Amino acid sequence: MSSKRFSELKNLTKEELDTKLRELEKELFQAKMKRASGQLENWSSIWSMRKDLARMKMLEMQKTNATKL
C-alpha cells in the first residue's frame, strides 16, 4: 500500500473504512482458496493483502479510540 493510498484511507469515515475492511477480508479469503487449489499465480498478493488488512484495522482502532476521548 502506498503512502498516498494510506493517507486516503485516513480520510474515510469509520463506516466507509469498515466496508473496505470487509471487502479486503473477502478478497483475502478468496486468494487463500485459490492458493489451496493451485490457481493462484502471485503468492505475494496474499502477503500484501494481510499487511493492508492490518493497516486498516489499525486505522479503525485509532478512529474508535479517538471517539472515546
The count of domains in the chain is 1
3-state secondary structure of 69: coil
DSSP code of 38? T
CA 28 vs CA 13, 16, 25, 48, 66: distances in Å: 22, 18, 5, 10, 28
Can you give the CATH number for the domain in which 48 is found?
A: 1.10.287
Half-sphere exposure of 7 (CA within 13 A, CB side): 3
Given a contact cutoff of 8 angstroms between Cβ atoms, the answer to whether 12 and 20 are in contact is: yes
- Please calculate the CA angle 60-3-64 and round it to the nearest 5 degrees: 10
- pLDDT, one tens digit per residue, over 41-65 is 888 999 999 999 999 999 999 988 8
Confidence of residue 1 (pLDDT cuts 50, 70, 90): low
Average pLDDT, the chain: 89
